Amino acid sequence: MKTQTDRFINVPCSLIALSFFALTACGGGGGDEGGSSATPAAATPVTPTPVTPTPVTPTPVTPEPVVNPTSLDDLVVDADNALESSFTLNIAINTASQSRGYFSLCDDYTANGGGYEVNFDSCLFRGPLSDGQLSKELKVANHHNKLIAVIWFYDGQDPQYQQWAYNSDNAQQTLTMN
């Protein structure tokens, strides 16, 4: 059993050794450094031919085609884009009524006839009015570009509605109800 193992181990080792010697015997294919005794050929003089310049016509610059982005690596962001995902909305409520009231600011609503149907589960802010007034700065996500403000009064008055829309021309976004 020992002789079979020795033979098995020695065969691959001998193949490796034989391959190594074969590769080194072939040489590395070195360069022409110093060993050549050939005489150089005589150089014949070359007379330059006159060159006449050809007129250069400018090629029109064509803009690069716009490629639809397919990944985040393809997106190009304008240098003045702040890449902010939200904005601050200043809420200023000042009603003439001294009645107790409650303010709601929601994003899911539909206009129907002379009024609105509001999903109050979609409200971004709710809060009581104090002496008919409310002042609040609210962070709002950029995708909320249209909102509805509703003031409810506890004494049974009809609610007051006001639509608000993001205005990109204004540096400061404000919702005012009087």
Name the 3-class secondary structure at 18.
helix
For residue 62, give Cα distances in angstroms to 56, 59, 65, 66: 18, 9, 9, 12
pTM across the whole model: 0.54
pLDDT of the chain, 178 residues: tens digit per residue: 555 555 555 556 565 665 665 656 555 555 555 555 555 555 666 666 666 777 777 777 777 777 676 788 877 877 777 778 899 999 999 988 778 899 999 999 999 888 899 999 999 999 999 888 999 999 999 899 999 999 998 888 889 999 999 998 888 999 999 8
Q: Residue 172 corresponds to which tokens in the numbers above?
A: 């400061």
**Domains in the chain, CATH or no CATH each:** 86-177 (2.60.40)
Please state, in angstroms and rounded to a whole number, the distance separating the CA atoms of residues 126 and 146: 17
Cα 98 to Cα 91: distance, rounded to the nearest angstrom: 18
How many angstroms separate the Cα of 20 from the Cα of each of 23, 25, 26, 78?
5, 9, 10, 61
Structure tokens at 99: 């009645």
What lies within 8 Å, CB to CB, of 90 at 6+ separation is 136, 137, 138, 172, 173, 174, 175
